[in-house]
Amino acid sequence: MDCHYSGNNNYAWVIAGSCYDTNFTKPYPNATIKFYTEANGGGLEIGSLEVDGKGNFYTTENINFKLGLYPVVIGTSGKKMSMHSTVTTGVCGSCHNYTTCKICVK
């Protein structure tokens, strides 16, 4: 995530990405992304991120992805989009860029 340095600060984003509507035509603002130890929002909630008004999420907080976590995106309507496989880093764009579709929610 070295490319996500902000200005002259000496930190990098641990997790960063953007969220879109299900048509992938516009950013989806004000959603929430939660990380769980089991699929479909099961197990323990390890951490969460708020999606800002422009559809972006980012943090410098250190979240332990060592064992793999299951992300769940929750829209403002309460609808959820869950990943069915684990992630081991917060580099969402490493997959949601070219090899899989964008992160989305209704």
Using one digit for the tens of pLDDT, what is the confidence trace for 74-106? Answer: 999 999 999 889 998 887 777 777 667 888 888
* pTM, two decimal places: 0.81
Q: What are the tokens at 72? A: 């769940």
Closest to 67 measured CA to CA, from 93, 98, 27, 36? 36
* 97: CATH: 2.60.40
CA-CA distance, 37 to 105, in Å (whole number)?
21
Using one digit for the tens of pLDDT, what is the confidence trace for 19-68? Answer: 999 888 899 999 999 999 999 999 999 999 999 999 999 888 888 888 89
Q: Domain containing 38: what range?
A: 2-104
Quote the number of domains for the chain: 1
What are the backbone angles phi and psi of residue 98, rounded to the nearest 5°? Answer: -120, -35
Q: How much is the pLDDT for 102?
A: 82
Confidence band of 11 (pLDDT split at 50, 70, 90): low
Q: What are the tokens at 68? A: 């793999």
